[in-house]
Amino acid sequence: MSNTVIALGGNALGKTWQEQKQLAHKTAKAIVDLLAVTKHLVVSHGNGPQVGMIKLAFEESGKDMPLAECGAMSQGYIGYHLQNALYNELAQRQQKVTVASLVTQVQVDPKDPAFQHPSKPIGSFYSQADAQAIMAQDPEKIFKEDAGRGWRQVVASPKPIDIIEKNFIIDLIKQGHLVIASGGGGIPVVLKEGRLESVEAVIDKDFASALLADLIGADRFIVLTAVDQVAIHFGQANESWLDKVTVEEMEAYIDQGMFAPGSMLPKVQAAIQFVRGGEGREALITSLDRAADGLAGKTGTRIVAH
């Protein structure tokens, strides 16, 4: 295997910048371990908690910062913590690898049906009256009740179709650099009359990471999550953990409703999308702590074409 993309969950990086900086060092150890078994490595990451904190901070200060800018800020400071921790870990092991994080724009289709059905909650909780007042003042903002906890703004979650900086990422990989890219699913942009414009949306980081892996010609796509393996009948008496499974088997499990829509389902769907995209590919879903063991075949759920 030569090229590997790993998708790191945003929740794995903590809920404060102090916690994130500390956890980044633990994350760096696991990532550098992977360099022993793959020639080139690209790291992607989630940003759910982080972008939420950034947006909330602006709201509490009486300012409204667009989601694209909040996403860019999260890419910057998460990327900084990761590349700093990776540099130090590599230096400690006397490995000469340069690490760079890239603010990444991800193209979406303005006609994606997701724009007609915003569903991704972001930002603060509001009372119904306050939410309705905001919508009356700004018709482009949509608020919905969120599980009895209050009203929150919802935005679209369109599928990614291209990564604007893909060629630059490929060049960095060819030069032997360890690249951090497409953080938080990337900054969503649409192409209008030859110009890129940001849109108020959130791209699922697993789908964006799978696309990134496809575009750079990766052989392996690794989704790092909170569990060592994917389970069917999760939490039930007949719970079963999956080792090596085919795309066809995983699609059957999806049809049976085995994976939670807001949790494991998008990870499995992204893995399937990547494996289907080319010959000889495989995807691995496992935990950060067991990532190296997963590559060695000791744990994790491997998804293969046949």
| Residues designated as active site | 10-11, 120, 205, 267
Query: In terms of Cα–Cα distance, which of 178, 269, 169 is closest to 223?
Result: 269
| Tokens coding 11 | 């929740």
Distances (CA, A) of 49 to 43, 110, 126, 184, 268: 18, 26, 18, 10, 22
Q: How is residue 116 written in tokens?
A: 């007609």
Q: Are 202 and 157 in contact (CB under 8 A)?
A: yes
Report the 3 state secondary structure along 257-268: CCCCCCCHHHHH
Supply the DSSP string of 194-226, one letter for each residue. Answer: TEEEE-SB---HHHHHHHHHHHTT-SEEEEEES
Distance separating alpha carbons of residues 187 and 163, to the nearest angstrom: 10
Q: Is residue 241 a contact partner of residue 231, using CB atoms and an 8 Å limit?
A: yes
